[in-house]
């Protein structure tokens, strides 16, 4: 049966499986493509050619190249603010063209498409995954271009799949159902874990350093003695950026609930000479 016929005969059950309130037709994008090149525009063009009613939200295209951890964090920090039925297309894919798997994941409210490289680990760890699909292009070859690029699966595989999902096709049509994975790794560090090893998840436009340290809502910063970032020990604590003394790196709880290090009216990452790969340790009281 042709894809167009399948779409016209799809059942209400399939539409529900594709994500509740799928008529939102929102596709949210996270990539490391930047905005200088044509990659993002080409993906959008492919999706619009299949479903002209799609509405796009660009979460960011400025992920540090190949930084899967940063992409996973920014997805985690944003996706629950979206309307139910949103399809998230997440392309940070250093293994593109290799035998790495491609995933479709469905939770109660959302669908995620991404390479199987850890990008969706934050979703697996913090949300209830109802369905995990290993995408198999042989099952939906008629949906794809005749020639599939080894270097641009975002355009030739993920974009068409996302577009057909917004038209009501269930993600199970696009591959093999597998048992949803459980993430054993502690993605966040808190006082209960008693761990001192942490990491930087993101450095924002202002130079604020976002870590994976997650104090509880009741403890806030009270249990933290200090944080070592690179070779600098940070012990000053503030509630909001403007509360900080001038030129003093300080700790605070940012809007995502994670510990940040900031310098008022300045760039903490530059002043502390750290990158997203710099060493971080937290010392608990």
- Residue 187 counted as domain residue: no
Q: Given CA atoms 35, 39, 44, 49 in this order, what sign does their dihedral have?
A: positive
What is residue 191's predicted lDDT score, i.e. its pLDDT? 73
Rounded alpha-carbon distances, angstroms, from residue 71 to 67, 97, 239: 7, 20, 26
Residue ranges making up the domain that contains 25: 3-178
- Residue 213 counted as domain residue: yes
The enclosing domain of 58 has a CATH number of 3.40.50.10790
What is residue 143's predicted lDDT score, i.e. its pLDDT? 85
Nearest to 227 by CA among 257, 258, 255, 204: 258
pLDDT tens string 71-106: 999 999 999 999 999 999 999 999 898 889 999 999
Same domain membership, residue 206 and residue 146: no
Same domain membership, residue 135 and residue 53: yes
Do residues 30 and 60 touch, judged by C-beta distance below 8 A?
yes
Same domain membership, residue 235 and residue 107: no
What is residue 97's predicted lDDT score, i.e. its pLDDT? 83
Q: Given CA atoms 134, 81, 186, 98 in this order, what sign does their dihedral have?
A: positive
Do residues 216 and 190 touch, judged by C-beta distance below 8 A?
yes
Nearest to 40 by CA among 80, 92, 79, 115: 92
Average pLDDT score, the chain: 89
Residue for token pair 């975002």: 154
Nearest to 223 by CA among 262, 253, 261: 253
Same domain membership, residue 255 and residue 127: no
Element housing 103 (H / E): strand 102-106
218 strand-pairing partners:
none
Confidence of residue 223 (pLDDT cuts 50, 70, 90): confident
Same domain membership, residue 116 and residue 17: yes
Same domain membership, residue 205 and residue 169: no
pLDDT tens string 229-266: 999 999 999 999 999 999 999 999 999 999 999 999 99
The enclosing domain of 207 has a CATH number of 2.40.30.90
Same domain membership, residue 144 and residue 39: yes
Same domain membership, residue 226 and residue 171: no
Strand, coil or helix: 46: helix
Let me know the angle formed at the C-alpha of 154 by 149 and 160, rounded to the nearest 5 degrees.
Answer: 95
- Residue 191 counted as domain residue: no
Do residues 161 and 51 touch, judged by C-beta distance below 8 A?
no
Q: What is the DSSP letter of 243?
A: G
Quick check: 182 pLDDT over 60?
A: yes
Which of 126, 144, 178 is where one domain is finished? Answer: 178
- In the chain, how many domains are there? 2
Same domain membership, residue 148 and residue 66: yes
What is residue 75's predicted lDDT score, i.e. its pLDDT? 98
Which of 147, 178, 209 is where one domain is finished? Answer: 178
What is residue 11's predicted lDDT score, i.e. its pLDDT? 43
């Amino acid at each position: 049966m042709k894809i167009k016929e399948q779409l016209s005969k799809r059942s209400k059950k399939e539409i529900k499986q594709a994500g509740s309130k799928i008529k939102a037709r929102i596709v949210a994008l996270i990539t490391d493509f930047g905005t200088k090149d044509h990659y993002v525009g080409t993906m959008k063009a492919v999706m619009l050619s299949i479903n002209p009613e799609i509405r796009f939200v660009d979460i960011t295209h400025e992920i540090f190249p190949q930084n899967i951890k940063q992409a996973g964090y920014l997805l985690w920090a944003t996706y629950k603010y979206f309307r139910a039925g949103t399809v998230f297309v997440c392309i940070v894919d250093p293994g593109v063209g290799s035998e790495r798997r491609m995933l479709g994941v469905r939770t109660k409210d959302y669908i995620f498409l991404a390479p199987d490289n850890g990008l969706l680990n934050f979703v697996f760890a913090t949300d209830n995954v109802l369905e995990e699909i290993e995408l198999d292009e042989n099952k939906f070859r008629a949906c794809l271009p005749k020639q599939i690029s080894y270097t641009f699966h975002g355009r030739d595989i993920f974009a068409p799949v996302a577009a057909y999902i917004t038209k009501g096709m269930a993600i199970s049509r696009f591959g093999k159902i597998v048992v949803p994975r459980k993430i054993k790794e502690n993605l966040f560090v808190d006082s209960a874990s008693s761990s001192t090893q942490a990491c930087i998840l993101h450095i924002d436009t202002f130079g604020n350093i976002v870590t994976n340290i997650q104090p509880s809502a009741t403890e806030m910063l009270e249990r933290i003695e200090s944080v070592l970032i690179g070779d600098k020990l940070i012990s000053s604590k503030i509630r909001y950026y403007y509360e900080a003394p001038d030129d003093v790196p300080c700790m605070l709880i940012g809007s995502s609930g994670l510990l940040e290090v900031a310098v008022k009216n300045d760039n903490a990452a530059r002043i502390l000479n750290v990158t997203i790969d710099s060493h971080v340790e937290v010392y608990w009281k």
